[in-house]
Structure 1
């Protein structure tokens, strides 16, 4: 019904213009256009994400604002249980998830020192960049986001079976991360909640919007769209985590990524 009303209002000129975004495949110069009639661009595109910084709280997580950037420093330590904690850690908990094929990888969570410097005023990049392996963003509890690959062009098909009960896991040097929905956060804050930022400064939200489950088919090639959110009542481009591949991000960053060191 909501989609129908949007179309009716659009016909009579009561909604802002719908724009069609040029979509390029990863590592490609293809400028083909994909139409997205559900993406409504607000009049204001001078975005400022300062208002959501207070939502970031986590073990060993801090941030500092300097002019038009924010620098996050995180130890990348999840604030929830996992079988990947050393057994001596109070947060150690044996796997109690629902994956019948679960298989623990040999790694353990260990403290990191990861620094993101991100623009407070994100904007669409003229030339989109692919996400790399390793951290591509930071969740509101300080755990980093990874993209949809287990390795260079390798899908997560098998690696998913090593995700713990909160759908994260550590890699070989103990860097814990989420490739898919961080269920600890969506259970705590809601499936429609703000979950973090990618390195280009654009927000990441859960799989629910306006009471409807979002799938990848509802989003553009970068796995986002522009709509109003509770945190941005004038609208903002944002990513959604979905249950289907590519989960968090598609063909790359919609905006220009800041600096990541780890």
Structure 2
């Protein structure tokens, strides 16, 4: 008779162990170990200004002296045809459904990579304007790197632009997904006049609208920006805008003194 309670307790224990072992969070499918979500809740430093808390899909955002440090996995939180064949495909793959009749998927697929941006907390105009690099020159609020207006080798984006997915991004050879132009997912979600991210010089990037109208290249200086009031900077600040035509986000040089990016 004494064995029955013991068997019952063992059964209950096994039941709870089974529940615990099968429990999964919103990022991992424990049946095959694959990641099913690319959304991240960042760790924000206690003294990070509110505007940098708009960076919502990075690993860490914190203050380091006179710099803001942004660590990201570079994975877009939206779907893409470039997730096909990856461990995120179950939830993140979406066939191309954009409007470009010339769309042609490049051979690369999205891969995770850790990139750290260190940008000036209080950006200032540079005494000598440096050229934007090939590779990451800034970061979008969803943690996706921003590249300049050139394709590999410094050639125009004329052909490469046809490989941009429906959210206007694509991965390079190592799998780093990035934007060269307006990030359609972000402007759709947040508005065409909203904060899109920051370049390495610490100056913000806004969408293609301002004050209820579309911004054109003629409204901007040679660095592709201007000084104006924004919702995040009511006193006004120099900022870049995305536009529909080259150079899309930035001219050939930073307006301010650039910080650093490391991988």
Q: Could you say which TM-score interval applies, normalised by the shorter chain?
A: 0.7 to 0.9
Larger Rg: 2
Query: 2:138 maps to which residue?
Result: 137
Alignment correspondent of 1:29: none
Aligned ranges 1:29-44 → 2 under 5 Å: none
Match of 1:32 in 2: none
Q: In structure 1, the residue corresponding to 2:162 is in which secondary structure?
A: helix
- Establish whether residue 123 from structure 1 lines up as the match of residue 124 from structure 2: yes
Q: CA deviation at 1:212?
A: 1.2
How far the C-alpha of 1:141 sits from its partner, in A, is: 0.3
Higher strand residue share: 1
For 1:147, the equivalent position in structure 2 comes to: 148
- CA displacement, residues 132-163 of structure 1 (integer Å, 9 cap, x when unaligned): 10000000000000000002330000001000
**2:169 alignment counterpart:** 168
Aligned partner of residue 121 in structure 1, secondary structure: coil
1:118 and 1:257 in contact (8 A); partners too: yes
1:68 aligned residue: 66
Provide the residue aligned with 2:52 in structure 1: 53
Secondary structure of 2:83's match?
coil
**Could you tell me whether the CA contact under 8 Å between 1:50 and 1:120 is conserved in 2?**
no
- 1:6-44 alpha-carbon deviations (Å, 9 max, x no partner): xxxxxxxxxxxxxxxxxxxxxxxxxxxxxxxxxxxxxxx
What secondary structure does 1:78 align onto? coil
**Mapped partners of 1:119, 1:216: distance in 2:** 26
* TM-score, reference length from structure 1: 0.79
Partner SS for 1:84: helix
Structure 2 CA distance for aligned equivalents of residues 61 and 89 of structure 1 = 22
Shift of 1:64: 1.3
Alignment of 1:80-119 (within 5 A): 80-87=78-85, 88-119=89-120
Query: How big is the shift at 1:90?
Result: 1.1
Moved over 4 A (4+): none
**Deviation (angstroms), 1:86:** 3.0
Aligned-partner Cα distance in 2 for 1:67–1:134: 25
Q: What is the aligned length?
A: 213
RMSD: 1.1
Structure with the bigger percentage of helix: 2
CA deviation digits over 1:29-86, x for unaligned, max 9?
xxxxxxxxxxxxxxxxxxxx9331110111x532111222111111000000000003
Q: Higher relative CO (CA 8 A, sep ≥ 6), structure 1 or 2?
A: 1
Q: Which residue of 2 aligns with 1:207?
A: 208
Look up the match of 2:258.
257
- Distance in 2 separating the partners of 1:228 and 1:64: 25
Secondary structure at the residue paired with 2:61? strand
C-alpha deviation, 1:193, in angstroms:
0.3
Gaps of 5+ in 1: 1-48
Q: Show CA shifts across 1:82-121 (max 9, x none).
A: 0000343411011111100100000000000101111101
